[in-house]
Amino acid sequence: MKTFSAKATEVDRKWYVIDAADQILGKVAVEAARLLRGKHKPIFTPHVDTGDHVVIINAEKVRLSGNKETEKIYTSYSGYVGGQKVETPKKVRARRPELLVERAIRGMVPHTRLGRAQLRKLRVYAGAEHEQEAQKPEPYTI
């Protein structure tokens, strides 16, 4: 018996819509990352992009549990003196709400070329409207 290995050209990709309104950020990110990686498919192969396309709507209405809205911090450092930036989810939500969901999902996919390819299949929208109606995405419930 031979080990099955999926080929990128033979993968059948679907489109899913996840409504993040009043959902916990981590739960939305876990399901989106699972769909993007293709772990829900029986043909999952770790080194091949077997995942589906994911559209997340209502990213501005996603919830964080506990006191994370004000106490969690996102840091970035440019490498220069005084180049460290610190932001809370409350500030990020005011500036660009899609970034909260994107950052959470980015940490759950591989940090390689494969992960970047999988993230290109992710689209996050702050409101309820999205531009992928032509692809007829299926609603995905969490």
pTM of the model: 0.92
Q: Are 59 and 97 in contact (CB under 8 A)?
A: yes
Instruction: Give the pLDDT confidence of 65-112 residue by residue, as tens digits.
Output: 999 999 999 999 999 999 999 999 999 999 999 999 999 999 999 999
pLDDT digit string, tens, across residues 11-52:
999 999 999 999 999 999 999 999 999 999 999 999 999 999
Q: At residue 13, what are phi and psi to the nearest 5 degrees?
A: -100, 135
Place of tokens 């099955």: 4
Residues 6 or more apart in contact with residue 122 via CB below 8 angstroms: 32, 36, 53, 54, 56, 102, 105
CB 17 within 8 A of CB 55: yes
pLDDT, tens digit, for every residue of 53-63? 999 999 999 99
Q: For the chain, which domains are there?
A: 13-140 (3.90.1180.10)
